[in-house]
Structure 1
């Protein structure tokens, strides 16, 4: 199953590399695109859940790494939830 990473910049300027076990991320995000915090969180949730389910369909179990990545994203989003109009930029999508 092809993996990919996507690099994001949080509202505080910090950049992090995120993991997906599937190319499905490219169906949800566009490189060099800004997303509102709620939109980014929803897209990340949908994409990483779908990616994990693709692993389950193929191997019989969900992808714990994708679900862990989603957990990390949720924690990061919570830190910025009080910032009005907070934006997350997806910098790169790498295969």
Structure 2
């Protein structure tokens, strides 16, 4: 199963590197995309849940790394107002262009 990383620039300028066990993140976020903290929490949470379910479907167990990433994102997001803006500065690998 292809895995990926994505980098988030938080409202205070700090950058957090995040992990996903699936490329499904590309369905929810884009490089250069700007989202409110609240929207980013929703999108990333849904994507990481779906990624974990893909792991369950393939291997028979959920991905604890996806849950840990979601938890790290939630803890960081709690430091900012919901309407503050985050930016996705990188996603590796980038989506294939068709």
Q: TM over 0.5: same fold?
A: yes
- The alignment's TM-score, normalised by the length of structure 2, stands at 0.92
Please, what is the CA RMSD of the aligned residues?
0.9
Query: Match for residue 86 of structure 1?
Result: 84
Q: Spell out structure 1 runs of 4+ moving beyond 2 A.
A: none
- The alignment's TM-score, normalised by the length of structure 1, stands at 0.94
Tell me the CA shift for residue 85 of structure 1.
3.0
Residues in 1 aligned to 2:90 and 2:10: alpha-carbon distance in whole angstroms: 13
Q: Residue by residue, what CA displacement relative to the aligned partner does 1:31-70 show, whole Å, maximum 9, x if unpaired?
A: 1111011100000100000000000000000000000000
Residues in 2 aligned to 1:41 and 1:21: alpha-carbon distance in whole angstroms: 18
Query: Match for residue 56 of structure 2?
Result: 56
